[in-house]
Amino acid sequence: MISVEKKLFGIYKGEKIFRYELKNSNGFQVNILNLGGIITGIYVKDKKGNIKNTVLGYQEIEKYIGNSAYPGAIIGRTAGRIKNGEFSIDGVKYSLGKNDGKNSLHGGKEGLNDKIYNVKELGNGIELSYISPHMEEGYPGTVEFKILYLINENNGLSLEYNAVSDRKTYINLTNHTYFNLSGNLEKNGDEQILKIKADNVCELGSGLIPTGNFISVENTVFDFREGLKIKDGIEKGHSQFKITRAYDHPFILNYSGVENEPQIILYSEYSGIEMEIRTTERSVVIYTGNYLDDVSEFQEEKGQNRRYLGVTIETQDFPDGINIKNFNVKPLKAGEKYYSKTTYKFNIV
């Protein structure tokens, strides 16, 4: 039996912010805010049968406001950085809100992470909706967004992203949850073992913008095909880390489709919790929390070095793809349906 409970979380911009708690009969629970679609907690039983929180989050709404780490939030209208905060569609140049030096990051100054959504409760989850007006943050088109958070009795969570625009535009959505499967932040996030079915990764240039070139993962710290402890890769290092500090790269998935074997697996030896990820997207940005030491202390933190405390697994199309010919990213046409789905399944191994 799946239940949905609604609890007051705080006040933002004069409006009530609620936490929606999705629960199944196994003790699996996912908490989501109507602010930014923020996932504040995912609770899973570990190998000892104890229920543990597996994501980074806060109990106070104030710590989410203006948080440069975007913990748990929906990211859009476009994920990642847009070079020089601009792109063109059909010869018309659009200038976006710049919030990362000369670039636009994660949708601009007030992206989808900062919006208050209407919520429809469903039998197995919730649907968040928001209408983004034409030229909000510089993006063309009035866009209706609908994002579904659904759980099942097999400890699965699915995120389904839907959007329709009244004119040609550019959309690339993701979620920015930081995972730490040790549970209750009992170990650092870089102690996790990550496996990715990806033969190539995008090369990054200055400003962390993809160059359009690909790097083969063979014999590099980007080779997660058979599984690698994140810490080992960071310590071994790579010339790309001079730009990023550690991992903050789009991995090109070898296949797409949520019905196949998982493209991505994250695992904690400490808790025995494993998370399988399947996605319809072509790439996943792995960010190892390289600058988490710049934000507020997280709930359940135990005095660790906050850097690398959690890892985001941002399933999406290529960042800045509309500006990079090699990536073959097309604008969304007027009336065309944008759809993306990512599923997360939690197991004990």
Residue by residue, DSSP assigns 162-211 as EEEESS-B--B-EE-PEE-TTSTT-S-GGGSEEEE-EEEEEEE-GGG-EE
- Return d(Cα 243, Cα 225) in angstroms, integer: 23
Q: Is 267 exposed, middle or buried (0-12, 13-18, 19+ CB in 10 A)?
A: buried
State the pLDDT at residue 257: 77
User: Which of 56-61's residues contact partners 24+ apart within 8 Å by CB, and which partners?
Assistant: 56/177, 56/178, 56/180, 56/185, 56/292, 56/298, 56/299, 56/309, 56/310, 57/31, 57/298, 57/299, 58/296, 58/298, 58/299, 59/299, 60/10, 61/9, 61/10, 61/11, 61/12, 61/17, 61/35
Q: How confident is the model at residue 255 (pLDDT cuts 50, 70, 90)?
A: confident
Query: Residue 306 pLDDT > 80, yes or no?
Result: yes
Query: Residue 28 pLDDT > 90, yes or no?
Result: yes
Work out the mean pLDDT of the chain and round it to a whole number: 97
Give me the mean pLDDT over the 255-275 stretch.
92
For the chain, give the percent of residues with pLDDT over 70: 100
Q: How many CB atoms lie within 10 A of CB 138?
A: 18
Which residues are designated catalytic? 176, 314
Query: Residue 259 pLDDT > 80, yes or no?
Result: no
104 φψ region: left (φ > 0), alpha (ψ -120 to 50), beta (else): beta
Tell me if 23 sits within 8 A of 2, measured CB to CB.
Answer: yes
Q: Higher pLDDT residue, 259 or 150?
A: 150
The residue among 158, 138, 146, 145 whose CA lies nearest residue 89 is 138
Which tokens is 288 given? 């190892």
Q: How confident is the model at residue 207 (pLDDT cuts 50, 70, 90)?
A: very high
Q: Higher pLDDT residue, 2 or 303?
A: 2
Give me the mean pLDDT over the 163-171 stretch.
98
Give me the mean pLDDT over the 27-46 stretch.
98
Q: For the chain, which domains are there?
A: 3-348 (2.70.98.10)
For the chain, give the percent of residues with pLDDT over 90: 96
* Residues forming a β-bridge with 156: 345
Model pLDDT for residues 110-151, shown as the tens digit of each residue = 999 999 999 999 999 999 999 999 999 999 999 999 999 999
Query: Residue 19 pLDDT > 80, yes or no?
Result: yes
Give me the mean pLDDT over the 304-313 stretch.
93
Tell me if 180 sits within 8 A of 42, measured CB to CB.
Answer: no
C-alpha atoms less than 13 angstroms from C-alpha of 343 in its C-beta half-sphere: 16
Residue type, 269: E
Q: How confident is the model at residue 340 (pLDDT cuts 50, 70, 90)?
A: very high
Q: List, in order, residues 6 or more apart from 303 with CB less than 8 Å away.
A: none
Query: Residue 320 pLDDT > 80, yes or no?
Result: yes
CA dihedral sign, ordered 134, 108, 246, 240: positive
Query: Residue 258 pLDDT > 80, yes or no?
Result: no
Query: Residue 314 pLDDT > 80, yes or no?
Result: yes
Tell me if 9 sits within 8 A of 19, measured CB to CB.
Answer: yes
Q: How confident is the model at residue 38 (pLDDT cuts 50, 70, 90)?
A: very high
Q: What is the pTM assigned to this prediction?
A: 0.98
Q: How confident is the model at residue 303 (pLDDT cuts 50, 70, 90)?
A: confident
Q: How confident is the model at residue 256 (pLDDT cuts 50, 70, 90)?
A: confident
